[in-house]
Amino acid sequence: MAPPKSVPTEAHQKLVDQYSEIARLAGGLAHEIKNPLSTIRMNMDLLAEDFRGSDAPRDRRALGKVVTVLRECTRLEKILEDFLHFARGRRLELEPTDLNEPVRQVLEFFRPKAAEAQIELSEYLAADLPTVLVDAEALHGALLNLMLNAEQAMPDGGQLVVRTYARAEGVGLDLIDNGCGMDAETQARIFDAFYSTKRNGSGLGLPIAKKIIEAHGGVVAVDSAPGHGTRFTISLPTPARLAVNGEPPVIYLGR
């Protein structure tokens, strides 16, 4: 039996069209900023090379200032890359999937980074999960963002537990770390674009993850407390909701 299809209302379609236009304009603006920023960074690199060959105190002070500008250029380029990913809309390619498979793939991808950060990965993947409709590439990005968030919450190492399980309405996925945790105010804002408590963080990783999960018809929740770690819970429906005419939904990552 074919999965149920939800027909978008006129108001919903208008909102989707607005998102699309905003994403297009924002992406164009980000590209316009990125190009001159790359030129600035390249010239700062050349200027730094000139100053590195001198031992004069004035030149050493100037080199320090150039290095600061270079560091900020690099940070801004990273923010622009994250923003372009956040603003970009693309169509999901949904396929019937055992959720354990994309979870295993992202764990294997993340495992070397976890080992470097002295994070123990513990997997508890339930057998015989109901099938869900998943865009593996998009979901990989969402899960990786959540795992990177967990890594940043455990600067001295720790444990990340990943478990899947069947739910009455679909499947569930928990990512549980024993890191620093979050207070209530932080929890209320972590999915807001550009909000970050981390040094040099873009504040877009978690909003992107949330948008991707919601585009699958799912939801993501967080439970945390300072000093007691954090649990992200993802719930995906089975089957995932499809757009009218059976076309896969579009991820509009812009707010």
Specify the pLDDT at position 230: 92
Same domain for 30 and 99: no
Residue 242: band (very low, low, confident or very high) from pLDDT cuts 50, 70, 90: very low
Specify the pLDDT at position 252: 44
Q: Is the pLDDT of residue 58 over 70?
A: yes
Specify the pLDDT at position 122: 92
Residue 21: band (very low, low, confident or very high) from pLDDT cuts 50, 70, 90: low
Inside any domain, residue 2: no
Residue 40: band (very low, low, confident or very high) from pLDDT cuts 50, 70, 90: confident
Domain enclosing residue 206, as ranges: 92-252
Same domain for 80 and 26: yes
Q: Is the pLDDT of residue 184 over 70?
A: yes
Same domain for 97 and 202: yes
Domain termination residue (choose one: 87, 115, 148): 87
Domain termination residue (choose one: 59, 87, 115): 87
Dihedral (Cα; 239, 244, 248, 251), 10-degree rounding = -110
Specify the pLDDT at position 7: 42
Same domain for 126 and 66: no
Which residues make Cβ contacts (< 8 Å) with residue 144, sequence separation at least 6? Answer: 106, 109, 110
Is 226 buried (19+), middle (13-18) or exposed (0-12) by CB count in 10 A? exposed
- The CATH number given to whatever domain includes residue 47 is 1.10.287
Residue 79: band (very low, low, confident or very high) from pLDDT cuts 50, 70, 90: confident
Q: Using one digit for the tens of pLDDT, what is the confidence trace for 185-198?
A: 888 888 877 667 66
CA distances from 35 to 20, 101, 223, 241 (A): 23, 39, 40, 39
Same domain for 220 and 170: yes
The token pair that represents 63 in the structure block: 């080199």
Q: Is the pLDDT of residue 249 over 60?
A: no
Specify the pLDDT at position 80: 74
Average pLDDT across the chain, whole number: 79
Q: Using one digit for the tens of pLDDT, what is the confidence trace for 169-183?
A: 889 999 999 988 888
Residue 32: band (very low, low, confident or very high) from pLDDT cuts 50, 70, 90: confident
Q: What are phi and psi of 201, to 5 degrees?
A: -75, 145
Q: Is the pLDDT of residue 31 over 90?
A: no
Domain termination residue (choose one: 40, 57, 87): 87
Domain count for the chain, please give it. 2
Inside any domain, residue 102: yes
Same domain for 230 and 216: yes
Inside any domain, residue 23: yes
